[in-house]
Structures are given as C-alpha cells and as structure tokens.
Amino acid sequence: MPKSRKTQTPEPARKTARKSAKPTSKPQATKAASSRSSRARSSAAPMRPSKKAAIVALLERPNGAAIGDLIEATGWQTHSVRAALTGLRKEGKELVRDKDAAGVTHYRLAAA
C-alpha cells in the first residue's frame, strides 16, 4: 500500500501591525536612586586590582617574573598564565625573556 502524502496548505499571512498590551518605553530609574546604589557599592567593598593588573605589575619589576611567580599571584594554571602573556603581546606590549643562572625563564616588560 503506497504511503499517503499530506497536501500542503498555504500558511495564513501574518499581520504586520500588531498591538501590544505592554508599553514600548521602559521606565527609567531616577538619578538619585542610581547614585545612591553606586555610592553604597563603592563604600561597602573596595575594588581589588584585576589579575591582569597583578601580572603587569610583576612584569614591570626590574628582574621581571618567572612563570611560578605569576601562577602564585593569580592562582591560574600554567597554560592560562602563558595565554595572558600572549594577550599582552597582542596588545602591543613588548615582553623580554631572560634566563637566570639556574635556567629559570623570567619575563619582563621592555621599557617603552
């Protein structure tokens, strides 16, 4: 017995102008309320420096920083620290690599 095929019926055309029960404009917060909330946030918890800023600070030292120093400062894994260094290179910062007598590689930012 052959399979029956459904006949395709044309879909009804969509109405282009629909009226919504919701208002189109969003209510805006007052300036006083928004300034109070930002003031409360700033006094309650001081902003801590970002991990990227910590990496840059370590790299600006005269001797630079080893991967182990950067891992300890950020809590990241080795591959994440190396990716952050690559990100700094892509931002245009010049990194210099030096090995010390023990064979440990130290990274530092070149003086601009």
Among the listed residues 111, 110, 112, the one whose alpha carbon sits nearest the alpha carbon of residue 95: 110
User: What pLDDT is recorded for position 39?
Assistant: 56
Q: Return the higher-pLDDT residue of 89 and 29.
A: 89
Query: Rounded to 5 degrees, what are φ and ψ at 102?
Result: -85, -5
DSSP 61: S
pLDDT tens-digit readout, 36-50: 555 555 566 677 789
User: What pLDDT is recorded for position 75?
Assistant: 95
User: What pLDDT is recorded for position 48?
Assistant: 77
Q: b/e string for 23-37 if b means 16 or more Cβ within 10 A?
A: eeeeeeeeeeeeeee
pLDDT tens-digit readout, 49-73: 899 999 999 999 999 999 999 999 9
Confirm if 66 and 106 have CB atoms less than 8 A apart: yes
Confirm if 105 and 66 have CB atoms less than 8 A apart: yes
**What global pTM score does this model have?**
0.57
